[in-house]
Chain A
Amino acid sequence: MNPKAIVGKVRRNATPQTILSVVFICILIYVVLVPLVIMVHETLIVHPMERFQIPGSMPGDYTLSHWKRTFSEPSSYSFFYKPLLNTLIISTSLAVLSLLIGGVLAWLVVRTDLPYKKFISNIAIVPYIMPSWAMSLAWITLFKNPRIGGSQGLFQFLTGISLPNWFSYGMFPIIVTLSLHYFPFGFMLIAGALRNIDSQLEESAELLGASRWQVLRKIVFPIVTPVIFSTFLLTFSRGLGTFGTPAFLGGPVRTYVLSTMLHANLVGQRPGIGYLVAFVMILMGILILYMDHKLLGARKSFVTISGKSGKSELTKLGKLKWPVTVLVIAFLISVTVVPFVVLTIDSMMLIPGNYSLDNFSLHYWIGPASTSIGLGTGEPGILRNPAILNALANSFKLGLVTAVITGVAGMLIGYTVVRTRGTVFSKFLDQLAFLPYLMPSIAFGSIFLALFAVPRGPIPSLYGTFALLVIACSVKYLPFASRAGITAMMQIGPELEEAATMVGAPWSKRIRKIILPLQKSSFFSGLLLPFISAMRELSLVVLLVTPGTQVATAITLRYTDRGWYPYTNAVMVLIVLTVLLTTALSRKLMGTDLAKGIGG
């Protein structure tokens, strides 16, 4: 080819979408792939505080001692294998339980004549909107026993029964509370799949003489199997990365999982091991993505393709109708309203453990700093505590900024991926933007710690800055936004833009006058999920916050460490309120349907 032809080709291919895709790929490589390399490097060197653990080493020396300690020394069991086992048990049980609860609920709502369906669907996603460890705080408040320090819980106050340790702390409550947080996930995905099954598939089976149960077993189950697998894997991977719940419920009885182990090592004396644990967690996350993709990628299609869904006949619950209804609603109330009320009540009890009316006080909300009232912490009530108000404001700001950044980035990525479809760029960008989804949150946080703790090239050290939190959250929630962006862009045929090209509208005009107006509503409704996620995030930011950039969720952790539960609970009530109000507001104003965004 002659030079002129090459120049012409390059110039024509340098369309805005190709340039954008290259830019995004570069950024994502820097914030997603490069840190992985840095992380591996961190597991191979001696950190300053590790100098004395490894005799004769200097900081920065290369060493295999972290790897040995983690994988092949007697101490490995408590450092790694035991937490790994715990993690696997928790994630598996969590995934199974969420599937069961979510699946049954989905079937009831979509396929039976259960009443109040709308109400039930709405309230069923509330546990997912609340921070995952709100549930664990409520659990502790309800069921804690005085044996492991502190006061009695509400349950013991009311009944006089002191619960055994295994019920109050450790694996059992971790699994239960996490399942109660993640079952909405299973509910929404399976309900979506059930709704999308073409009713003709079932009708033709019925016409051939299959009974209701046979239809369910032979037609419906096989069709939703891929979704069930997929939900299982996604919930499982969430279980891997979660930090707050095992920290609150496992800490007191020294039950460690990978995430708490990672945190303890990273902020403690053994960052090398912390990074190694993070690396293992990320590998597990990527393995899950790969499994999801390979095992189910092809089969998945037959659920999503059949958009034509006639109304299939609802199974009559008959005599069971009202008992089931009461059961479902009671269950949903006990996982939404009850925890919230429990936390609220606890935050208003002056002496912890005494839930009588004369102990009622707003001291932890609006009281002055005092060393003699209540817990005598010397901290003012949370509404008078500038540090907490500041942290709340930070959380809100973090949610807002993250939402806008991911929203814009997600839309642009959606545009780029769809418009360059069929090229390597498109595929690569799509996958790269989805990668953070499966990186366990706390490990992802440690990636950013590794990446931004020191200045690299033109980028200064961002540790201790608000920007670091924003970047971490934005990248972590990008998968939601980019998936939403891709879906939204798919609905805008390329001809709409080409028609403008034909009359000579340049790219900027096409974006401004055609794409943006058409994307407006999906853009705004896409802001909600990242906002909520960032507001309630703990696992991701726990390693990145500093006193100057404290966020509300991380502050609760500090109070819990000191046993100051009323403060923790009060802050938690505020976080939950903010999140719920925002959700309700955006639903009212923009008709946002959260269920649409979570599917991933």
Chain B
Amino acid sequence: MANIVLKNITKRFGQVTAVDNFNLEIEDGSFATLLGPSGCGKTTTLRMIAGLEDPTEGEIWVGDQCVFSSERGEYVPPGKRKMGLVFQSYALWPHLTVFDNIAFGLTIAKRPASEVKSRTIAIAKVLQIGDLLERYPSELSGGQQQRVAIARVLVMEPEVLLLDEPLSNLDSKLRMDMRAELKRLHLETGSTIIYVTHDQLEALTMSSHVAVMDKGILQQWAPPMSIYSEPANIFTADFIGNPRINLIDGVLVKSGEAWEIVAGELRLPFVSQTGTTSVREQKVTLGLRAEDLFLSREPGPDLFEGTVYSVLPAGSEWYIKIQLGEEVLTATIYSDMNLKIDEPIWVGVFKDKIKCFDQEDKLL
């Protein structure tokens, strides 16, 4: 068992750069997620780790073994990397039964028949598909196919488990259940998991570390909650969180001893999220999460007047769109205020949650 290290990985398909100078160190036993919109290079990265795709440049290390190096021509084929990959489409072999699907790898590895049988049955039990062994993939539900796909990989006892959007083909209820199960599986097997998804909720709920990617470039690599609360740049702030973060262009100005952000109608004190000390007057982008706003029917100090633009109830919470000068902001509230459209409303901000990005797209 070992850390997985990607060093300066670049992958080009013709003129298109799919992954650009990517560096990552994934700790042994962690649950790492590659998160990003489609086309951001996350699946390509996963496939390069698996060995199905060769990086154009860079090195991949598993522990102290270099499994790929463009410089030195090193290459360990996928079958020898002790990794298992669960495909988005599951890729179950339609002409083989569930048993044969799971047993395939062991047969290829020329394990004795008795061992193949016992290991296959054992893993099928773990994944609760023990009674489906004689069936063909086309006779299974989506959730069952998913379990077979995972069993087929786990039976090989991989040190690293690679999962490519494994839940995207399931309906939303099943997806919830499987999230919990995958998380348990991670603990029980103790193997490293690298998980690819475009679903931020999946990334936040399951991972120990998340790598946010966009256009082939790593945006941020951090535990899920710090990605949420301290997004490294505007992309990450915007991509993570539901509803989307409110982003408003403004300026950072000195006001007496303190610093202030002026953005549209808002005038807020500047509080650094990163503890930076080098602050100067400049254009900035202000980021306010919907739940970091609060509403009041009465005017008050540090409240800004706007009007209700739209009200979107969502069960346990309400999303309120507020027209504030030129901007429309979204606020999440947790009790029904019975707001009417075009009604005047006062907006407040939790000051320690204010995010402010500088010209270089860095969180200040």
Q: Chain B contacts of A6 at CB under 8 A?
A: 73
B87 touches A500 (CB 8 A): no
Segment 1-38 of A: residues with Cβ below 8 Å from B:
2, 4-9, 11-12
Q: Does B334 contact A (CB under 8 A)?
A: no
A495 touches B87 (CB 8 A): yes
B93 touches A8 (CB 8 A): no
Q: CA separation between A9 and B56, bound complex, in Å? A: 9
Q: Chain B contacts of A73 at CB under 8 A?
A: none
Q: Which secondary structure characterizes the binding site on chain A?
A: helix
Q: CA separation between A550 and B326, bound complex, in Å? A: 88
Binary CB contact string for chain A from 486 to 507 against chain B (1 if under 8 A, 0 otherwise): 0000000101101111111100
Q: A493-B91, A499-B87, A499-B93 are in contact. Are A504 and B73 (CB under 8 A)?
A: no
Q: CA separation between A513 and B77, bound complex, in Å? A: 19
Q: Does A517 contact B (CB under 8 A)?
A: yes
B87 touches A8 (CB 8 A): no
Q: Does A422 contact B (CB under 8 A)?
A: yes
A7 closest partner in B (C-beta): B73
Segment 71-89 of B: residues with Cβ below 8 Å from A:
71-75, 77-80, 83-85, 87-89
Q: Chain A contacts of B156 at CB under 8 A?
A: 503
Q: Does A217 contact B (CB under 8 A)?
A: no
Q: Chain A contacts of B94 at CB under 8 A?
A: 518
Q: Does A509 contact B (CB under 8 A)?
A: yes
Q: Does B176 contact A (CB under 8 A)?
A: no
The size bracket of the interface on A is 20 to 34
Q: CA separation between A555 and B145, bound complex, in Å? A: 59
Q: Does B190 contact A (CB under 8 A)?
A: no
B105 touches A503 (CB 8 A): yes
Q: Chain B contacts of A11 at CB under 8 A?
A: 73, 75
Q: Chain A contacts of B84 at CB under 8 A?
A: 502-503
Q: Chain A contacts of B75 at CB under 8 A?
A: 8, 11-12
Q: A514-B93, A517-B95 are in contact. Are A498 and B52 (CB under 8 A)?
A: yes
Q: CA separation between A509 and B107, bound complex, in Å? A: 11
Chain A nearest Cβ from B140, distance in angstroms:
16
B94 closest partner in A (C-beta): A518
B105 touches A4 (CB 8 A): no
Q: Chain B contacts of A517 at CB under 8 A?
A: 95
A5 touches B70 (CB 8 A): yes
Binary CB contact string for chain B from 280 to 323 against chain A (1 if under 8 A, 0 otherwise): 00000000000000000000000000000000000000000000
B73 touches A499 (CB 8 A): no
Q: Chain A contacts of B152 at CB under 8 A?
A: 499
Q: Chain A contacts of B13 at CB under 8 A?
A: 422
Q: CA separation between A11 and B238, bound complex, in Å? A: 43
Q: Does B50 contact A (CB under 8 A)?
A: yes
Max chain B CB contacts within 10 Å: which of A12, A495, A498, A499?
A499
8 Å CB contact of A496 from B70, B73, B93 = B93
B153 closest partner in A (C-beta): A502
A503 touches B104 (CB 8 A): yes
8 Å CB contact of B108 from A8, A493, A504 = A504
Q: CA separation between A584 and B73, bound complex, in Å? A: 56
A502 touches B72 (CB 8 A): no
A518 touches B95 (CB 8 A): yes
B78 touches A502 (CB 8 A): yes
A10 closest partner in B (C-beta): B73
Across the A-B interface, give the 9 residue pairs with the lowest CB-CB distance, nearest first: A8-B73, A504-B79, A503-B105, A495-B91, A4-B73, A495-B87, A499-B91, A517-B95, A505-B108
Query: What are 19 sample pairs from A and B whose C-beta atoms fall under 8 A apart?
Result: A5-B71, A5-B72, A8-B69, A8-B75, A9-B73, A11-B75, A12-B54, A495-B87, A495-B89, A498-B87, A500-B108, A502-B50, A503-B79, A503-B108, A503-B109, A504-B78, A504-B108, A505-B105, A509-B108
